Structure 1
């Protein structure tokens, strides 16, 4: 007894097998239209990264933005908008674009390779139907005409079609480098993508704020923010260090935006390794310092008021420069000062720094970004400031469990201190003094392993683009046939790129052939 067999389902018209469906999806993904759509999507996806503060670029600015927008922050975090370029959806678009471009470019690469090696096509049957042609009669034999035509075209750099027995025409073509340009341009896209992918996977980017006179050692604990690649290895970080010696700013007055920094630079002293000799470098915007595989960039600056806080017993519990963050082009800056535990408790200051303080129409402003008349204006808090929380931002003051210090009239105490002034806090809390001002600079350090590969890709793209734009491929045919006692010679030329004038080429070749005919007759 045989087992019953399952009836086979008939395939409906238009139904695709899994293999055919996969092939159709691959063709759709690797089409030029899909590549252009994905490229547009990648450009649109990059917009939030340029508008919304990014954790990997400036974690301090991101933290402040989150504090100012508590309702939007949870939504943006779920969408990954604070780290756009590391988000899953951005990576998906990038990977799909790369696959689409590779799948689109590789077949075209083989097509261009075949075109580069291909021989010129055979001569059309009727050359006189081409737009640019000429003809004349001569008493020379057909073989003599074709031999001289081959020599003349070869001397002009044309590639000739191999001679065939019984052929009455010569086929020649030049401008094959245009196809090389197309090939280079398409391959360069892949090279650039590989370079960027290597930089994103094996590189890193970090930032640190340094006050004048401070030293930075290249290890993870020294960074204010650090964004490694997915395959980054910490042991590949260089063992260099540098000291921020001096900072110079050149100010310039503009009619529309007031006084602005025209140029600024930081003088550094650095060592590539602990045993290397010291070297100096003038770090400027767009002039990074390269130490091994790491680039050091100068991307911002500001002021760090030097604040000293003593407790009620006269013991200094905090003293040093505190970086304040600029709020606008006048360098009105915001910052906080946190003093650790003492017998009278923790003390926190929060307020503004005015580089050049003035009262205009009853409002406190800074009229000049340089520190000509500095003043700090700060509110005072005491109690539990959450200083034990390591994740707390140095530019934010946790006031959840703190108490604001008030005046006798019930108003918040605000300390307005000119340079060199000090103030006594109520209730025996201690004193606060404003002792000086130091500049700080924001340094960005990055390691991008694939940048040279990407640069090579960009150069190849430019070379290929120039070749495809300015090299004109041209084809020339010469046919000779005997008619009675004379040989009729037909010459035609064709510009394959369109819009090119081949009449001079045609006239020059015909003139040379006829000139030789005149010598023979003489």
Structure 2
């Protein structure tokens, strides 16, 4: 009889699961992006990317310099503009580096913070079985007293040295003391990176919701200004700020006090202003270079000062106009250059029509303290001997065509085209305070006096406090990170009779110690010896 054995066929194994390549790519990319190395590379790239912002003029800071760059480099400027060189901090490539750095820091800090909190909540690990294999260890030594008493004394001494300790009792009646110290290093690392995040958030939101503007404010109640964009020499609003969001205030410069050393170096600057916020009446406030004027919604910073000559021009019909014109300093002694333009002069009283070819412009230098040898350079920044050196131009000033231009220089295109001509035999004419210059057509220019002006920067940064706190915490975290040293020490305490060959001593114990530095710590050997000595002697 043939017996046929029917064997059950083994179940077929499931096919191997194919890995999801897209998920693997995303996971690996995230790990690379959130690594500390990538964060450092992105931080370096952000610093490099900011360099063009200091090399090329920025349109948001000074659009006039961008125009001048186009005129000086007509072939290069369009390419620089296409690459975002005139708006570096608003360019897509700068924003991409900024956002990648922000994401990298968040992905790096949050897991490490969770691990750090988890490590702080856990007790130090138990002592290893072979302490002699550690970088620092000792031979067993004898201590009087019971194991529990000795172990508790060692643990108390380590706690007084600010070690995190854990006392454990084993089944054989021995005790182990685990101690750990140096978590401030990782705390400092996390604090530094969290502070860096705070600075990035502060800079980003400050750019979005902040604004700044500059203004030359000449002394005199009639020359004050209110906080509107049209009143500023240049201004820049954040993407989230509208002109209607600007706070309401008005400023008038009452006095400017400047003191100088004998060498001409400035000692102190102080501006006295009249301030009105909202519907409140004007009040007198005073501020200096290092102590800005703090208003509701804005801070006013004093950047510098200069002089504004007061010029009176009398045209050929006997009509006079007086202008207060700021001249901008070009050296440390306040030698200043500027221009006074009189477009609405020489109007025929019979026809009430203005001849555009008879407009007047005066360009030159102002010297607060002119030397006696006739040199066109001031020898001291205070207005001890003010003098003007001016050249006169007659013709079309080019102010009626609607093209923006500088108010501190004449239109060179008008001069080049011949529409604005230098008055014949008009070398730079020297005018002392009170002098009158009679031109070839009988018109006159009188140097009436001078007024001081202050260069102001008005700014609002809603995240300034956050950025400052981040910078301070970053320095604190960096110091903790550099000073912290992670290390662990263990002590085992057992009865003397537990070791083979050792005489049983009633109440005696044997203590063994070992230590492990978790980071590079050249002084760990000396610290370990001091801990062992204190444990041997039973001292704190």
TM-score (structure 1 length as normaliser):
0.83
Structure 1 residues 236 and 378: alpha-carbon distance in aligned structure 2, compared to 1, 3 A threshold: same
Structure 1 residues 285 and 205: alpha-carbon distance in aligned structure 2, compared to 1, 3 A threshold: same
* Correspondence list, 1:284-295, <5 A: 284-295=288-299
Corresponding residue SS for 1:41: helix
Decide which of 280, 290, 293 is 1:275's aligned counterpart: 280
Tell which deviates more after alignment, 397-406 or 102-111.
397-406
- Cα deviation for residue 240 of structure 1 reads 1.9
- Cα deviation for residue 406 of structure 1 reads 4.9
CA distance in 1, matches of 2:326, 2:79: 31
CA distance in 2, matches of 1:417, 1:150: 89
Decide which of 514, 522, 534 is 1:499's aligned counterpart: 522
CA distance in 2, matches of 1:83, 1:267: 36
2:212 maps to: 205
Decide which of 199, 216, 227 is 1:192's aligned counterpart: 199
- Cα deviation for residue 306 of structure 1 reads 1.2
- Cα deviation for residue 390 of structure 1 reads 6.6
CA distance in 2, matches of 1:88, 1:263: 43
1:20 maps to: 24
Structure 1 residues 377 and 139: alpha-carbon distance in aligned structure 2, compared to 1, 3 A threshold: closer
CA distance in 1, matches of 2:247, 2:260: 35
- Cα deviation for residue 415 of structure 1 reads 4.1
1:160 maps to: 165
Q: Deviations over 1:296-315 (max 9, x none)?
A: 10112222111222322112
Q: Deviations over 1:244-281 (max 9, x none)?
A: 11112222344xxxx33333221122233322561321
Q: Deviations over 1:114-150 (max 9, x none)?
A: 3322321221222234344343135655444434444
CA distance in 1, matches of 2:68, 2:409: 8
CA RMSD after TM alignment: 3.2
- Cα deviation for residue 75 of structure 1 reads 4.9
1:420 maps to: 434
* Correspondence list, 1:52-131, <5 A: 52-57=56-61, 73-131=77-135
2:351 maps to: none
- Cα deviation for residue 211 of structure 1 reads 0.8
CA distance in 2, matches of 1:246, 1:66: 40
- Cα deviation for residue 54 of structure 1 reads 4.0
Q: Deviations over 1:499-520 (max 9, x none)?
A: 233121221122118x9xxxxx
2:379 maps to: 367
* Correspondence list, 1:224-239, <5 A: 224-239=233-248
CA distance in 1, matches of 2:238, 2:30: 30
Tell which deviates more after alignment, 344-353 or 206-215.
344-353
Gaps of 5+ in 1: 1-12, 516-522
Tell which deviates more after alignment, 223-232 or 101-110.
101-110
Does the CA-based 8 Å contact 1:56-1:205 persist in structure 2? no
1:403 maps to: 419
How many pairs were matched up? 491
- Cα deviation for residue 412 of structure 1 reads 5.3
2:261 maps to: 252
CA distance in 1, matches of 2:178, 2:38: 39
CA distance in 2, matches of 1:397, 1:462: 50
